[in-house]
Structure 1
Amino acid sequence: MNLRSRQLPTVLIGLLATVCVAAFLVVVRPAGAAEAPVGLGTAESYAVLAGSAVTNTGSSVINGDVGVSPGFSITGFPPGTVNGVQHAAGAEALQAQIDLVTAYNDAAGRTPATSVAAELGGTILLPGVYTGATLEITGTVTLDAEGDPDAVFVIQSDSTMITATNSAVAFIGGANPCNVFWQVGSSATLGTGTSLQGTILALTSITANTGATVVGSLLARNGAVTLDNNVITRPDCADVTLPTTTTSATTTTGATTTTTGATTTTEVDDTTTSTTSTTPTGGTPTGGTPTGGTPTGGTPTGGTPTGGTPTGAFSGGVTSGTSSSSPGSPYGSLGTGQSASTPLAQTGTSALPATVAGTISLLMGAAIIALSRRRASKTH
């Protein structure tokens, strides 16, 4: 056997080993554009923030602020050490919790998200948004920023996040713990000896078992943060503006009535209704709220109009001895609850417009003259 034939098995073995290693390292590339960091607001200064209580056992070291709100219990310091400020149920912790809610909702709402299996151990994640029903880390999950120090990772769990003993989150390609966010829909548990990087945003509680270390923050909205001989180091991150929520509210007081020529426009609760009528005689409509052409708010005053067209002024959105009808229209003057689109009952000529009444008078006079001439002709 020559030298070349002896080297061939060695080369094949090396290739086989490379393939086997690659088979166990799954690279996941998410869809979507590059993400912006999740802004934490005033919660940024906290290494540990809880909703109900912060409890420590042993000589934990917390590099950053510790806070709780609306609860007020922070216990275990000493023997633990806080290299920061403790805020128990004060205004600072309350505001931090308010900002945490905003940050949590921001992280939970990031899309599009790439679905991943529950077990992240043995995978390489590239920058982007990931989601799973639950999250587990056994062994090491690697986050590869691909040379971009501003690359952002958002990993969402609908329920829990659990890491096994001595599991780890490793960084390559310049990944930055300031830009890694673990959004957890219930509670997170870090196993003994776990080494985690990034910020956990948990809806309920966070438990760090013995010896677990975190380069990032443990932020729980409603429940407790429980520590046991841990080292939690908040990295020095740039401030990121919180997303703003715009609430649009329209309040309408009274109504605005504009009369121009023969068109009346009434605006109530952003709804515009147009009705056609003549410009009221003697004044401008004020005070009332005619809706849909229906004057409301009072009773016609000024007496019963007789012998012609009543005149006066609008007051309170209701006619006061004033006819709002057009010449030749079958509508009389309007009263409470009467619509300009509904004909009124007509009683004699007093309810008719002057033009119609005059026409009838002329016709009646002509008829009387004609009848008189007919009788006269018969007499002769």
Structure 2
Amino acid sequence: MGKYIHTSLDLIYVVVILVGVSRMGKPYVFTGLLEAPPFFIIFLLNALSGLRFDFKISLYCAVVSILVVFGLGFYDIYSGYLIIIGGIMHTLFKASLVGGTALVSGYIGHRSKELVIQAITEEEEKKFIKSIFGRYATGEVVEDVLRRDLKLGGEEREVTILFSDIRNFTSIAARLQPNEVVSLLNDYFSEMVEVISRNGGTLNKFIGDGILVIFGAPIRHGNDAERAVMTALEMMKKLEKFNLKQAEKDREELRIGIGINTGRVIVGNIGSTERMEYTIIGDAVNFASRLESLNKELGTSIIISQSTYQHVEKIVHAKKLKPVRVKGKEKSVWVYEVVR
């Protein structure tokens, strides 16, 4: 409301000046109010109305200015400064010019405001995306997400899930001091995360001494199943080197199990407005976790599902194991141990 009052007062000031000048008997009064120099302040006010970045204000300014121009024009005609026909056409011309100036200025101001808000919103969204994915993926992956203009939210897609877990870590931790447990996990996770990042995986979360990794979200690579299996093999090689360092420090060696499955899941941001987490939900995730646990029962290290094996059978050597029952399916499916 205050903006409308200010706009009205500005125009009233101009009218007062114009009428005051006309009564002073100055030479230019004979040209009429619409031609008096102070009249051009109305053009200026309309031209600057867009700086309020509110099209409604500019529209209001245009309407009031048109009414003012008609009032001044008829005053000029009544006073004999303009002939009737010429005066009416002249008044219409000035009114349309003044009103058009306000509308154009208002549109420019409105669009400028929209563009500024859009730029700010996009920048805030980018910061949010970086805050979400910066914890899970490398800087290159985050920048790729931004370049592709990925919008945050849930969607269904096919991904490959990698679960890894340290065997018998509870008993290992029981023999160590708390600070030693934390130090051991930090050293181990640092080695594994380096491998995951290098292969384009998205580190979703640490689950105690376990790791959940996604291949295919938020960025698809076209060979995500291959990347997941290659990551698993590299993790095993990295673990061998890690255990050599452990032996030098007289620390207990670690053994891990890895389960990999490819399937359709719901992936996206889940949580509240205060705290969100980019994660995956679905039976394919649960089956990957089950495959990881199966390593302990079968004495293996890397087990992949049949759906994953179909993507990598030509590039890895795998041994068929016993069929496993999958939740939601009537028939059991074969699983495979990746040897190399």
TM-score category by the smaller chain?
under 0.3
TM-score (norm 2): 0.27
Query: Which structure carries more strand by proportion?
Result: 1
Instruction: Report which of the two structures shows the higher radius of gyration computed on alpha carbons.
Output: 1
Query: Which structure carries more helix by proportion?
Result: 2
